[in-house]
Structure 1
């Protein structure tokens, strides 16, 4: 079976990465191969088309390619809340703050396709229209293929190719540690409506969920086991990182996971689904006709309850 993530060297989808590397999918009877597929919109299309069995990515990604969710299904939250950071050059003057996003005027901000809608929604919520403010939001140069988007963004910031980026915790950590960037927004922890726009999720195809519900349940349980294992010992994250990440990022991952642990809740409750649906409507991805509760298989709900 094939499981894709749009960013491997990252904390964003780490419960799925850990479930594969630590053998929890195998223990649940699933032979799963982990692969990188960027951007998340392409990964969502591959899931829709039956090329993947599972996707660990942004929960709103299927709206881009399957707006009525006819062929995709949600199984679990890898963590709660929108999980990207807005980081700007450390030498920027005046330096913007989360309540002064108008100070981003004229900046070049790197953001990946899919996640960029989270940034646009954040700016709209603050009353900032990117085009009117001369804010350029575009992919980060060099962020394609077998690379970490966040770390690539941090390097582009250091080299002056962009003025800011919207990316994961790993890229943020690297930029702050190297003194080239400062955090303006931490969407997961800052709260307010943007925190509930989207979240990292485990997804599958409708066909798999309906024809092999036992596999959908097994994958959900594997994610829950990984979340619990990381809660019990974040050192497991370092072991996974050393197996899969470059040396520097491997030594940073446990600290990032420690910060994410309070958000490790797999169940997709009404609040989470309503926030996602509202974000899809506000972003123009949905007409509002999709009942997201209906795209969560009963097998997944049973797994949460039993877990």
Structure 2
């Protein structure tokens, strides 16, 4: 069984990666492997055509391959809230939560990920055209096995962009190198409050998979919930996973990043979240209708979201 992630050397989809690398999936009876497929719309296309069994990616991006949520369901969350960071060049003297820094600047963002930034800026009073904000892919971020956050951090350090919108690993790398400063961290209260529910790191699969192999889907959900609880109890377990998967430098960072993310580790998907995501998706033009909660979420697995014995 293959689980696609759009960014591997990252904290964003770490619960899915850790569930495989710590053997939790195997203990639940699932023989799973992680496959890096960038960008996220390519991962969802692979889910749609059967090359992947699950996608551990941004929830709203399922619409790239499954218009109006037809044929796909979210089965659980890896973490709550929109999880990308706005990082700007430190020599620009950016201030935390001051969006004016983006005016006249070049911001790197991945396809479909960029939607969250665009709407955040609009909600924060920025007119992208008037304020001459350029949001585009990061130079060098090509190919389906790109680790976007690290590529963005390198591009910032090399002066190819003025800022980026990417994962916590990319943000931490840029900050520690001295090249960047964090301007927006939505999960920790920055930006307009509505932005929290634009998207989340979720686990998605097809309605076909749910119908034909519900036991395997249940096992995956149980594994994610158990992994979240294991990481909450022992964040240092993240280093064990990092040593297997990440380069040495990033492996040293991952425990601190996971410790910071732990407050968001809940597998539940609330109605409030789905309502907020639907509004966001409508505003950015990727959703025409008004899907109900049951159209988006596989509610048959709700009982598995509450942690039990790990």
TM category (shorter chain) comes to over 0.9
Match of 1:73 in 2: 73
Q: CA deviation at 1:12?
A: 0.2
Match of 2:160 in 1: 161
Match of 1:140 in 2: 138
Determine if the alignment matches structure 1 residue 208 to structure 2 residue 206. Answer: no
> C-alpha offsets along residues 100-153 of structure 1, whole Å, 9 cap, x if unaligned?
323311100000001100000100101212122111101111123333211111
Determine if the alignment matches structure 1 residue 170 to structure 2 residue 169. Answer: yes
User: Where do 5+ consecutive residues of structure 1 fail to align?
Assistant: none
Aligned equivalents of 1:151 and 1:60: distance in 2? 23
Aligned equivalents of 1:198 and 1:158: distance in 2? 28
Aligned equivalents of 1:286 and 1:33: distance in 2? 31
1:75-114 to structure 2, matched below 5 A, reads 75-93=75-93, 95-98=94-97, 100-114=98-112
Match of 1:47 in 2: 47
Say whether the 8 Å CA contact 1:50–1:205 is kept in structure 2. no
TM-score normalised per structure 2: 0.95
Say whether the 8 Å CA contact 2:225–2:307 is kept in structure 1. no
User: Where do 5+ consecutive residues of structure 2 fail to align?
Assistant: none
Aligned pairs, number: 305
Report SS of the residue matched to 1:78: strand
Match of 2:280 in 1: 279
Match of 1:119 in 2: 117
Say whether the 8 Å CA contact 1:277–1:292 is kept in structure 2. no
> C-alpha offsets along residues 178-233 of structure 1, whole Å, 9 cap, x if unaligned?
11000110011125111111110011111001121111111100100110110111
Deviates more, 1:229-238 or 1:145-154: 145-154
Match of 2:233 in 1: 232
Report SS of the residue matched to 2:67: coil
Aligned equivalents of 2:299 and 2:283: distance in 1? 28
Q: CA deviation at 1:96?
A: 4.8
Say whether the 8 Å CA contact 2:271–2:293 is kept in structure 1. no
Please list every run of at least 4 consecutive aligned residues from structure 1 whose deviation after the TM superposition is greater than 6 angstroms. none
Aligned equivalents of 2:176 and 2:307: distance in 1? 41
